[in-house]
Structure 1
Amino acid sequence: MSYRLDLTVIDKSKQVSRFALTLHNLSDKPLYNWSLHFTIARWISANSLSIGKLSQLGSYCILTPDNASPLAPNSHFYTEFNIGTKPFTLHDDSIIDAFLNTSSGNTPIHPIPVEITTIDLDQPATEHVSSPLPPAKAVSLIPAPDSLTRLQGEFRLNQHTAITTPPEAAVGSTRWLQTEMNKLLHEDLPIKEQGNITYQLHENMAEGAYHLLIEPDHIWLQAGSASGFVHASSSLLQLIPAMPSHQADAAYILPMVEIQDQPHYAHRGMMLDCARHFHPVKRLKNLLDQLARYKFNTFHWHLTDDEGWRIEIDAFPELTEIGAWRGPNEMLKPQFTTISQQYGGYYSKQEIRELIAYASDRGITIIPEIDIPGHCRAAIKSLPALLVDPDDHSEYRSIQGYPDNILSPALPGTYTFIAKVLEEVCELFPAPYIHIGGDEVPQGVWTDSQACQAMMEQYGYREHSELQGHILRFAEECLQAKGRRMMGWEEAAKGDKLSTKAIIFSWLSEEAGQVCADKGHDVILQPAQHTYLDLAQSDAADEPGVDWAGRLPLEQVYNYRPFSSLENDDPAHQHVLGIQGGLWCELVNSQSRLEFMLYPRLLAIAELGWTPPEKRNWNDFRARLHGQMPYLDRAGINYRHCEAPSSAESI
């Protein structure tokens, strides 16, 4: 590599740190007319640079020297600057990606690669801490079932096994079971009039509940709903060992058990951000397989944001022609990683339909999120004639560093855009809920817009947050007309314009969920301090992730107790629909990184949603997690390893 970039902490206080940035020319040629392009997740104080000029948009920075002097061979450029946040503690806080540019004027950028060294954090090294797992339990179901009885005997699963023709409610789960069995047996598990795996409909059983009985010659899966059959199937799949026995027929030996089980919460969700980094359909299907295996029933699909629009909309093809792509020569400038080339992607309507059907067989509802009125830069840049008010001179900067990412409540185009997009989203997704974001609208927005001021006077609004509420109320009315119920992040309740039918997700803290529940809203609890899986998992500097809400080790996830400060008879408990984990993907751009951030913490969240708090036990969970590791290994999942002894324990 001919060029190298170093970043070093040279001074730090509680809220401001000073950094030294050094660009080395390691080549034997001078570098003329250069600028350094790089991404960093923090906001640099441009006027604090000791040498050079800097512009920043989101995470994307362009640094140019003060003069046109070339960077000589075997020399370096040095500057210092401030960042006004708490001191960096993770390597991932540093520069994410970089390249050099020597193009001038309006000519296309031709990036020149730059090697980035690991940041010097000016702090003592912290070792990774992990504690040995207890011996694996012989039956290691996650989440823990309500009742499990070990019986004497075993069932041999092999090529002679067949499924009895299922009832209609079990058709989807049967397809899923067949798909998973094919991976093990390398042939289809047939459906016969009389098989030895039988799904039985018991209509008196509660939604999601199931009864699983494994006998020496038969497996019985009983439920009163399609979801119950999926949950029975997931338990059956977990009981299959990672490897077949060494018998001639290569049978998988299943223990004889009887399980009675049902979910604690109705909503057991996982949110994935596909806007910051695009995750292909194959990756999503793999995730859906694991969500079903661990009895999640909701996939919250974050499809739009400042950095990318990922869903095909027929009314506005520009959203994916322009808004799905970013790069040095694109309308959307680079962000985060892969900044030296065009990057992006989107999901066609046909791909979305196929994914919905795939999820449905696995008992999972896909809830799309179209984020408004903030986080809309990709849409605004795609549709400027519709969504830009040239007379709005308001100055603001969103928390992610954008000055131009908020829809205007005074533009007719805003409502045209929302109505048409939500209409197509409702036609595409059968889910009874649509998530509309509603978060992180910054101070200063709409303050220097004559049209917005006139609108506030017209409606008697006193606070600018009421303009946000005005937009969201319109969106809620659009969804209600389509028979859908609105979901939104906790800020969506600002302005008091939504009906109490809107479901609120608390993310900054659990307290916001309590406030909304007290107002009559149903809530989904997704507090960052317990459920945000983009948070680093230990104090080690090289631990992948972020730390704005602290660290999130596995034990901290597992020990979350929703509304634990409230009395058991507090009415707020009745408004908790469930729990959800989330993975924001500013730094997650590969299958390997996604899996490392998810596993094994995803399994802990599975148990939070399914198993009542009084029946959860941390040490027992760790023993069952140990029992899950052979499956994770067989599936090739890049989970974050825990130390584990090798012996096994009977239940």
Structure 2
Amino acid sequence: MGTAPYRLESTWQPDGGPNGRFTFTLFNLSDRQLSSFKLVYTSLTRVIDPKACENATFLRRNANFHEFAPPSGLSLDAGQSWTFTVSGLHRPARHCTDGAKSAYITLADGSHVDVAVSELLLEGRVNEPPPVLLPKGELDLPFALQPWPAEIDVTAGEGFPVVLYPADGSSVDDIRAVSTVLALFHRLFDSSHAPFNLAPSPQGRALRFVTDTGLAKEAYRLEFTTNAITIRYSDSAGRQYALTSLAQLLQGARGTPETFRFPETGTIADQPRYSWRGCHLDVSRQFYPSDDIKRLIDILAWFKLNIFHWHLTDDEAWRLEIKAYPELTTTGVLRGPDEPLLPQLGNGAQPVGGFYSQDDVRDIVSHATSLGVEVIPEIDIPGHSSATLVALPDLTDGQEAPDSYHSVQGYPNNALNPAVPFTYEFLEKVLDEMVELFPSSYLHIGGDEVANGSWLASPLAKKLMEQEGISGTFALQSYFLKRIKDMLTARGRKLAGWNEVSHGGGVAAEGTLLMAWENPQVGIDLARQGYEVVMTPGQAYYLDMVQAEAFQEPGASWAGTVPPAHTYAYEAEGDFPEDLKDRMKGVQACIWSEHYLSRAYFNRLVFPRLPAIAEAAWTPKAKKNWQRFAAIVPLSPKL
């Protein structure tokens, strides 16, 4: 790939406007004069005052898409540059990722050329060395286990077995379970020595499997002797977790023998703290190939997480093939300068798309099921539906003004209209196909961030509200979601959603699970209303949040700064009253993808916070130890 012919550099200054200002400089690095052009960049820090520009004309914005024209008659010879400032921002820039993520130029003939983008600088500030987010750590016991078990009473051996193998008489199911975890290990650590062998080895140690109905479904017990290891379990989940623990122990002892050891004798008795141990992934803002999805599921299984929450639709794209509406994965996924969906969040001159075929979904669900991971699909409705409405314009009320409301992300009129009859016909067909693809008892319907004022300029919505005797956006949302819950109930599924599902009267609490993301108190309030709750507050469990206050740290900051130590220490039960704790089903990490323009950014932001949440989901509070965790977590696999 050659050098880009143009480069856009930017700084942010705290003065020059209520929320500071950007100064942009476009450099012409080509050997030709540049004239009669327009400049587009994408940025999460949006322009809301189009007149607050100097030396440029603001042309249009759609969410994160911004288009500008240079002063009339401006041309740039080779090596020259053009500088302009933008002051009318909706918030100050706090981190380097708050600037332009991508840019391109539209030439006079209508063609588009990518522009290289430099990192946003803070004027007058020297970049400091990155802070130490993970200490070296200190072990109280020399064993590599993630997450740490509920009870451990073992003595460390001087060496370690070459392999572990099923003892004579093991059932075919037990042998298959060993093979499954062995395959998982090979996928995650393809250059490491295998922990298991199916055939006996004189240098190995035998595994004896014992079914113990006294153990809980996900519990296991390991009993170590010098010549064998007994695995006690009552269900396949417990057996898998036991084998995963053994693989971790042996990998640590073999790979870092100066730090970690393998047990010689003793017992490990283990079971999870919570039944819901989840990880969410947003694939709408950025597309992840199926192989990346399966690797993430492998990582979840390694950390004994059992829920993969797959966020398949949002304003930026609809990623799930629905055969009844092929437009969703043609028009509804393609973002580009000349497409109905404009570039967003790092897209440039070239159109980008990507979706999961139904065969892809079946393969991914099968892969997850084989590892004891349940896939919870999400289509985000009624809000966050710009891509859906672009793909299927018959879902709109044609009498409604096109910019009558805007979402918090800046999208105009982005919510499915509860008063359009086609809305329900559309969703009936979508749900029919989804329940065939996803065996989970839950289907997540979003329900978040519907802008207050949505639909109030729609004549159809006004008529419906008069007929039903309801007023306001959220009462209408409640009407809509109750109908969706009825659709799910008719299909044998339960409704999962974000905490705003409870707004405006909500839906029936029975058979409804809500995720508390805005702040921890929301979870307690939901539990008081009778809902089952999963805790996933942005202040601790959103893995797109910045990990340090320094300007050069990447990520979002609306929920504050979330260093790994805070994520690890956070206690999701918080101030839950004793009589409500049974409604808190567990915890979940959320991976929102606005800032994940590369695998390096993904791994930097997700790890070690994802394994920290896995330990919070599994390990009893009294057994958590930040220094021990810090010593073990560098062994973690990454995407």
- Inter-partner Cα distance in structure 2 for 1:60 and 1:509: 29
Residues 239-271 of structure 1: CA distance to partner in whole angstroms, max 9, x if unpaired?
A: 112574899xxxx96654411011111101111
Q: For residue 161 of structure 1, give the secondary structure of its aligned residue in structure 2.
A: strand
Whether 1:504 and 2:514 are equivalent positions in the alignment is: yes
Match of 1:623 in 2: 628
Cα 1:172/1:60, change in 2 over 3 Å: farther
Aligned to 1:139: 143
Secondary structure in 2 matching 1:603: helix
1:505 partner SS: strand
Mapped partners of 1:245, 1:31: distance in 2? 57
The offset of 1:531, in angstroms, is 0.3
2:598 equivalent to 1:590: yes
Cα gap change, 1:257 to 1:87, in 2 (>3 Å): farther
- Are 2:118 and 1:111 equivalent residues in the alignment? no
Q: CA deviation at 1:503?
A: 0.9
* 1:376, distance to aligned residue in structure 2 (A): 0.8
CA contact (8 A) 1:209 1:224 kept: yes
What TM-score results when the alignment is normalised by the length of structure 1? 0.89
Question: What residue in structure 1 maps to residue 372 of structure 2?
Answer: 363
Measured after TM superposition, the shift of residue 72 of structure 1 is: 4.0
CA distance in 2 between counterparts of 1:188 and 1:240 reads: 10
* Aligned residue number for residue 9 of structure 2: 6
SS at match of 2:424: helix
- Is the counterpart of residue 534 in structure 1 residue 544 in structure 2? yes
Aligned ranges for residues 37-186 of structure 1 at < 5 Å?
A: 37-44=40-47, 45-50=49-54, 51-104=56-109, 107=110, 109-116=111-118, 118-123=120-125, 125-130=127-132, 132-136=135-139, 137-151=141-155, 153=157, 156-158=160-162, 161-162=165-166, 173-180=177-184, 182=186, 183=190, 184-185=192-193
Q: Do the aligned partners of 1:13 and 1:86 also contact (CA within 8 Å) in 2?
A: no
In structure 2, the CA distance between the partners of 1:19 and 1:175, relative to structure 1 (3 Å rule), is same
The answer (yes or no) to whether the contact 1:97–1:116 under 8 Å persists in 2 is no
Identify the residue that residue 407 of structure 1 maps to in structure 2: 416
Contact map agreement 2:397 2:460 (CA 8 A) in 1:
no
Alignment partner, residue 425 of structure 2: 416
Equivalent-residue separation in structure 2 for 1:612 and 1:598 (angstroms): 23
| Structure 2 gap ranges (5+) | none
SS of the counterpart of 2:525? helix
Matches of 2:455 and 2:614, distance apart in 1: 41
State the Cα distance separating 1:166 from its structure 2 match.
Answer: 5.7
2:34 aligned to 28, 31, 35, which one? 31
Tell me the alpha carbon deviations over residues 383-430 of structure 1, each in whole angstroms, 9 at most, x when there is no partner.
113x12211126111111110321111111111111111111111111
Pick closer, same or farther for the CA change 1:181–1:388 going to 2, 3 Å.
Answer: closer
Distance in 2 (alpha carbons) for counterparts of 1:186 and 1:612: 30
Aligned-partner SS, 1:240: helix
Bigger mean CA deviation after superposition, 62-71 or 91-100 = 62-71
**Is the deviation greater in 176-185 or in 162-171?**
162-171
Cα 1:242–1:617 shift into 2, 3 Å: closer
Instruction: State the 1:162 CA deviation.
Output: 4.0
Which residue matches 2:357?
348
Deviation at 1:132, TM superposition (A): 3.5
Equivalent pair of 1:138/1:627 in contact (CA under 8 Å): no
State which of 602, 605, 609 in structure 1 corresponds to 2:617: 609
- Aligned with 2:418: secondary structure? coil
Question: Alpha-carbon deviation of 1:220?
Answer: 2.1
Q: Deviations over 1:444-467 (max 9, x none)?
A: 321111110000000000222111
Q: Please state how far the C-alpha of 1:200 moved relative to its aligned partner.
A: 2.5
**What is residue 551 of structure 1 aligned with on the other side?**
561
**One-letter amino acid matched to 1:342:** P
TM-score norm. by structure 2 comes to 0.90
Instruction: Tell me if the contact between 1:283 and 1:591 (Cα under 8 Å) persists in the aligned partners.
Output: no
Please give the per-residue CA displacement for 1:508-548, whole angstroms capped at 9, x wherever unaligned.
10111111110100110000001001111112222221111
SS at match of 1:541: coil
Contact preservation (8 Å) 2:182, 2:194: no
1:397 aligns with 2:400: no
Instruction: For 1:586 and 1:472, locate their aligned partners in 2 and report how far apart those are by CA, in whole Å.
Output: 27
Separation of aligned partners in 1, 2:565 and 2:78: 52
Partner of 1:642: none
- In the comparison of the two structures, how many residue pairs are matched? 620
Which residue among 511, 525, 531 is the counterpart of 1:521?
531
- Name the counterpart of 2:197: 189
* d(CA) in 2 for partners of 1:399, 1:245: 48
Q: CA distance change for structure 1 residues 75 and 405 in 2, over 3 Å: closer, same or farther?
A: same
Instruction: Indicate if the aligned counterparts of 1:325 and 1:342 stay in contact, CA closer than 8 A.
Output: yes
**In the alignment, is the contact (CA less than 8 A) between 2:102 and 2:115 conserved in 1?**
no
> Secondary structure of 2:539's partner?
helix
Query: In the alignment, which of 488, 501, 504 is matched to residue 479 of structure 1?
Result: 488
Return the alpha-carbon distance in structure 1 between the equivalents of residues 429 and 158 of structure 2.
Answer: 57
How far did residue 135 of structure 1 move?
Answer: 3.5
Say yes or no: does 1:580 pair with 2:588: yes
Q: Please state how far the C-alpha of 1:217 moved relative to its aligned partner.
A: 2.4
Distance 2:213 2:199 in 1: 23
| Residue 159 to residue 555, structure 1, CA distance change in 2 (3 Å) | closer
Q: 8 Å contact 1:14–1:87 — kept in the other structure? A: no
Q: What is the one-letter code of the residue matched to 1:110?
A: H
Alpha-carbon separation, structure 1, partners of 2:245 and 2:164? 21
Report if the CA contact (8 A) 2:156-2:263 is conserved.
Answer: no
- 2:227 alignment counterpart: 217
Instruction: Indicate the larger mover: 213-222 or 439-448.
Output: 213-222
Structure 1 residue 627: deviation in Å?
2.9
Are 2:494 and 1:494 equivalent residues in the alignment?
no
Name which of structure 1's ranges 237-246 and 511-520 shifts more when overlaid on structure 2: 237-246
Cα distance between partner residues in 2 of 1:36 and 1:127 = 33
Report the Cα distance in structure 2 between the residues aligned to 1:447 and 1:547, rounded to whole angstroms: 31
Is residue 2:281 matched to residue 1:272? yes
User: Distance between the aligned counterparts of 2:128 and 2:617, measured in 1?
Assistant: 33
> Judging changes above 3 Å, is the alpha-carbon distance between structure 1 residues 243 and 264 closer, same or farther for their aligned structure 2 residues?
closer
Q: Match of 1:344, SS?
A: coil
- 1:446 pairs with 2:455: yes
Partner of 1:207: 217
Compared CA separation, residues 466 and 509, structure 1 to 2 (3 A): same
- Mapped partners of 1:164, 1:458: distance in 2: 72
Write out per-residue CA displacement over residues 336-378 of structure 1, whole angstroms, 9 at most, x where no aligned residue.
Answer: 1132212121111122112112112222111011100011111
> Displacement, 1:185?
4.6
- Deviations along 1:453-497, one digit per CA (max 9) or x if unpaired, are 000000000222111112211111111111111011011111214
> Aligned in 2, Cα 1:29/1:5: closer, same or farther, shift over 3 Å?
same
Residue 275 to residue 198, structure 1, CA distance change in 2 (3 Å): farther
SS of equivalent to 1:326: coil
Of the structure 1 ranges 518-527 and 374-383, higher mean CA displacement relative to structure 2 is found in 374-383
Cα distance per residue 1:63-112 (max 9 Å; x no partner): 113424433444333322224444322111111111111044xx5x3324
Aligned residues: CA RMSD: 2.7
> Hey, what does 1:237 align to over in structure 2?
247
Q: Which runs of 5+ in 1 are unaligned?
A: 639-651
Q: Residues 164, 537 of structure 1: CA spacing in aligned structure 2 closer, same or farther, 3 A cutoff?
A: farther
Output the CA distance in 1 between the equivalents of 2:213 and 2:173. Answer: 10
